[in-house]
């Protein structure tokens, strides 16, 4: 099982896709609490040129609360990471961490059901991106 779900996107700029992803996450109840610009960070910290690559830390407070109530150490897997990256001259890709892949390992029925709910919402976000 892959640890992520992904979608290739054409016809949008990187910046437009970033904004669209944030809007679609919001519609599904997620807020973006962190945004890491890998391209900028690598240039500033180690003077390396890198393609456009952003990591969004998405959090749905209701799901986060449910997860923490079911497993107090689950915070090491929060928030849900969403990656937007250039993969070619006009190609972009969005990847989201698949919570179901990691929750199965924990053997906690409450988390397994929750992970399926979160995965469903994240898949809907990807489905709305064109």
- Residues in a beta bridge with 4: 97
What is residue 80's predicted lDDT score, i.e. its pLDDT? Answer: 92
What is residue 88's predicted lDDT score, i.e. its pLDDT? Answer: 81
What is residue 44's predicted lDDT score, i.e. its pLDDT? Answer: 98
- The fold for domain 4-127 equals TATA-Binding Protein (3.30.310)
What is residue 1's predicted lDDT score, i.e. its pLDDT? Answer: 59
What is residue 6's predicted lDDT score, i.e. its pLDDT? Answer: 95
- C-alpha to C-alpha distance for 100 and 27, rounded to whole angstroms: 21
Give residue limits of the domains in the chain: 4-127
What is residue 106's predicted lDDT score, i.e. its pLDDT? Answer: 79
What is residue 104's predicted lDDT score, i.e. its pLDDT? Answer: 74
How does pLDDT run across 51-77, given as a tens digit for each residue?
Answer: 999 999 999 999 999 999 999 999 998
Question: What are the per-10-residue average pLDDT scores of the chain (130 residues)?
Answer: 89 95 97 98 98 97 95 92 91 93 80 91 93
pTM score of the predicted model = 0.92
- Residues in a beta bridge with 56: 35, 82
């Amino acid at each position: 099982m892959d640890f992520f779900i992904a979608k290739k996107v054409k016809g949008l700029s990187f910046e437009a896709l970033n904004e669209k992803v944030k809007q679609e996450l919001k519609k599904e109840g997620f807020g973006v609490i962190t945004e890491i610009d890998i391209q900028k960070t690598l240039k500033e910290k180690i003077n390396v040129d890198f393609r456009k690559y952003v990591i969004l830390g998405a959090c749905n407070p209701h799901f986060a609360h449910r997860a923490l109530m079911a497993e107090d150490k689950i915070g090491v897997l929060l928030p849900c990471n969403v990656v937007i990256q250039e993969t070619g001259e006009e190609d972009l890709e969005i990847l989201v961490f698949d919570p179901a892949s990691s929750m199965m390992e924990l053997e906690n029925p409450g988390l397994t059901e929750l992970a399926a709910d979160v995965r469903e919402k994240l898949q809907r976000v990807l489905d709305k991106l064109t």
